Chains A and B, each alone.
Chain A
Amino acid sequence: MLEVRDLSMRFGGLLAVDQVSLDVGEREIVSIIGPNGAGKTTVFNCISGFYRPTGGKITFKGRPIQGKPDYKISRMGMVRTFQHVRLFSKMTVVENLLVAQHRHLNTNLFSGLVKTPDYRKREEKSLERAAYWLERVGLMEMANRDAGNLAYGQQRRLEIARCMVTEPNVLMLDEPAAGLNPNETRELNELIVSLKEDYCVSVLLIEHDMSLVMGISDRINVINQGRPLASGTPEEIRSNDDVIKAYLGEE
C-alpha cells in the first residue's frame, strides 16, 4: 500500500532523515521508533506532503506521491494525526468531524443554499458517520462542546475520529499515547487493533510506549539520528543488539 524508499530530508546542514525505507501493507500496523530527535516526525511530514523530501521515493497505492501537496495526499486516503494535538478548538466536536468529511458532502454553493435533496442526504449521512465515530471513541456526550474544552485524552481520541470519518486506507499516528494515563493507553491499544481488524485500515505508528508498540505492531522500524537502524518483527527488534545498545538500553 505504502512504500518508502531511501527517503532523505535535509534542513540546511542537518540531515534529519537519511535513506530511510519502509513498507506498509494492507491491514498492517507498522511502527517507527527511535530516540528523541531521531527524525520520526520528519518522516511523517515527508510522507504526508508537509515537507518536500530532498531524496528518495514514496509510492502510495502504486502511484508516486513525493512532492505532491499535502491536501492531495490526504484525499488519496492517507491521513495523519499530530504529535501536538491540532483540533479546530473553537468549533464544536461535531463540526470538527464535519469539516473532515467535506469530500463526502455536496460542496456546491447553490445546492447548499437551496438545500437540494442530494445536499440533505449527504449532510445526513455525514452526521450519521460523525455520530458513529463519536460513539466509537466515547465522545457522544461531548458532541456540541467546543473541541478546545475537551480533556487531553478526549482531544486525542477526537483527532483519531476526525481522521477516521474521512474513511482512509492508511492512518498515520504520531505519538498517540503521549500524555495518556494507563487506562486510556489500554483503550487506545484496543482502538488501534480494531481499526486494523474491523475497518481494514493500515496504521503507521510513531510511539515511545514500548509495551504498546511491541504488543500491536506487525513490523517495527528503528531509526537513530535519521538513519535506519533495524527493522523487523517485534521479536527481532527486541533481540537486536544494535537496537538494545542505541535505544532500549538507554531507557
Chain B
Amino acid sequence: MIAQNFRHALFCAFITLVISYPILGLNLEAQGISIKLTGAETQTYVGIALAVLIVFLFQLFRPAILGGLGRVKALNPLVDRQPMPQEKRIRFERVALVLIVLGAMFWPFIASRGAVDLATLVLIYIILGLGLNVVVGLAGLLDLGYVAFYAVGAYTFGLLSQYYGFSFWMSLPIGAVLAAAFGFVLGFPVLRLRGDYLAIVTLGFGEIIRILLNNLTDLTNGPDGIGGIPDPTLFGMEFGRRVKVEGNTSFHEVFNIPYDSTHKVIFLYLITLILAVFTLFIIRRLIRMPVGRSWEALREDEIAARSLGLSRTAVKLSAFTIGAFFAGFAGTIFASKQGFISPESFVFLESAIVLAIVVLGGMGSQLGVILAAIAVTILPELAREFSEYRMLVFGAAMVLMMVWRPQGLLPMTRVHINLKKQEAGVTDHA
C-alpha cells in the first residue's frame, strides 16, 4: 500500500516536472532572424522544484489530506441545522422578498452615486439570474451560452437607436422579443441533447453570436462597438443637461430644479428596479402555472413526463424562449446604462457568472438567486484591493460552497396547496 503510494507520488512528481520544465524553464528568444533557446532565471527553477515537491507530498499523503477535508465538512456550521418547516420557509421567503424590494426602493436616496450605479448592475444580474433560473434551475437544461441572448437584447437597442433613432421604451419590448426568438431558434437543434452535450452546444452558440458581432463590421461596427445609446426618458423628459432628441423636454427644466447628474443614475436605477420586480413577479407566476410545473417535471424525469402526455419539444422550447426573453430585457437595460456596447461585454465569463448566481443561489429558488446576485456582484467590488486575487477568491468560495452546501444558499421552497377534502365515493367521478 505504502510502496504503491510512493510509486504513484513519484510518478506524479515526474509528470509535473516534465510538463512544467519546458513550459516555464525554457524560453525561445528571437534574435534577428534566428531563434535561440535560453534558460529562465533561477527563481523559476526554484518555483518548479517547489511545485514538484508539493505534488509529490500531496500525492504521498493524499488519503490523510482528503480525510482532513472530510472533517472540514463537519466544521461547517450549517451542516446539522434542521431545515425549517415548509410553511415557515414559504412565509420567510415572502417576507424577505418584500423587505428586499422595499429596501431597494429607498436605496438611491441614502446611497452614494457610485453605490446606486453598482446597485443597477446588481439588478441587471438579478434579472439575468432569474431568467437563467428558468432554464437551468427549473427545466434542468444546462445552458452555457446565456450571454448570447443578453447580447441580442443589447445590440437590438444599440442598432435600433443608431439606425432608426428608436428610444429605450420602444426598444425594450423589441429587444426582449427578438432575444426570445433567438432562444426559440436555439431550442430546436438542442432538443435531443442532454447534459454535457447540451452544455457544449449552448456554449458554442454563445461564442458564435459574439464572433458574429465582432465580424459583422458593417452592421455592428465590430470590436469598436456602438456608442451614443440613449438613456431612458420619463414621459418624454430627458435627464441630460441638454435635450438631445427633438421634441423631448428636459427633466430639470420641467421641474425647475438645478441640473444634477445623479438624477439620471437614480432614474435608471428605479426603472431597472421596476423591471426586476416585474421579472420576479412574472416568473413567480409562471412557476405556479402548468408551464412551470411541466419544466420541473421534465427536469425530474423526462420519461415519466412524456408518458403523461407532455411534449418534450414544447416544454424545452418554452423554457429556452422565456429564459431568453428576460436576458433580452436585461441586455436592453445594460445598453442604456453603459451608453456603449461592444462584443467585449458579452464574453463567456458573463455566462459563467450568471450560472454561478443560479447555482450558488440554490437551483430554482428565487430568493436565493437574488441574494447570490447581490453577493457575486458586490463582493468583487468590495475586494478591489485584492483585485488580482479576485477570481481566486471567487473560485475558492465556489469550492467551499460545493463542499458545504451543494444545494445552494436557499434550496427552492415548494408551493403549499391546500386541498379540500373530497368524498371518496365513486359516483361523483366521471
**Chain A residues near B (Cβ < 8 Å):** 48, 50, 69-72, 74-75, 79-80, 82, 86-92, 94-95, 98-100, 102-103, 105-107, 109, 112-113, 127-128, 130-132, 134-136, 140, 143-144, 146, 162-163, 166, 194, 198-200
Contact = CB atoms under 8 A, between A and B. Distances in A.
Contact of B309 (A71, A92, A146): A71
Contacts of A94: 417, 419
B297 A82 contact: no
A162 to B, nearest CB: 7
Contacts of B293: 91, 95, 98-99, 102
A131 B420 contact: yes
B424 A50 contact: no
Given A75-B309, A92-B414, A102-B290, A135 B421 contact: yes
B321 to A, nearest CB: 10
A128 B307 CA distance: 22
Contact of B304 (A69, A86, A112): A86
B303 A86 contact: yes
A86 B302 CA distance: 10
A71 B312 contact: yes
Given A112-B291, A132-B429, A135-B424, A140 B308 contact: no
A159 B305 CA distance: 12
A140 B417 CA distance: 12
Nearest to B414: A92
A112 B419 contact: no
Nearest to B420: A131
Contacts, number: 135
A78 to B, nearest CB: 10
A12 to B, nearest CB: 21
A103 B282 CA distance: 22
B215 interface: no
29 contacts: A70-B306, A70-B307, A72-B309, A74-B306, A74-B307, A74-B309, A82-B303, A86-B304, A86-B307, A87-B304, A88-B297, A88-B305, A91-B296, A91-B414, A94-B417, A99-B305, A99-B308, A105-B290, A107-B290, A112-B290, A113-B282, A113-B285, A113-B286, A127-B420, A135-B421, A135-B422, A135-B423, A143-B417, A199-B430
B253 interface: no
Contact of B310 (A71, A113, A143): A71
Given A98-B293, A107-B291, A79 B308 contact: yes
Interface string B320-351: 00000000000000000000000000000000
Given A71-B306, A82-B303, A140-B419, 4 more contacts: A102-B309, A128-B422, A135-B424, A163-B308
Contacts of B86: 144
B416 A144 contact: yes
Interface in B386-418: 414-417
A82 B304 contact: yes
Contacts of A70: 306-307
Given A102-B294, A103-B309, A112 B285 contact: yes
Contact of B419 (A69, A86, A105, A131): A131
B261 interface: no
B426 interface: yes
Contacts of B423: 135
A1 to B, nearest CB: 17
A47 B372 CA distance: 47
A236 B369 CA distance: 63
Contacts of B282: 113
B301 interface: yes
B33 interface: no
Query: Most A CB atoms within 10 A — which of B300, B307, B416, B426?
Result: B307
B289 A112 contact: yes
A131 B419 CA distance: 6
Query: Most A CB atoms within 10 A — which of B290, B301, B415, B426?
Result: B290
A41 to B, nearest CB: 13
Interface string B233-250: 000000000000000000
Contacts of A140: 419, 421
B311 interface: yes
A69 B309 CA distance: 10
9 closest pairs, A vs B, by CB? A88-B300, A86-B304, A112-B289, A74-B309, A131-B419, A132-B422, A135-B424, A75-B309, A198-B426
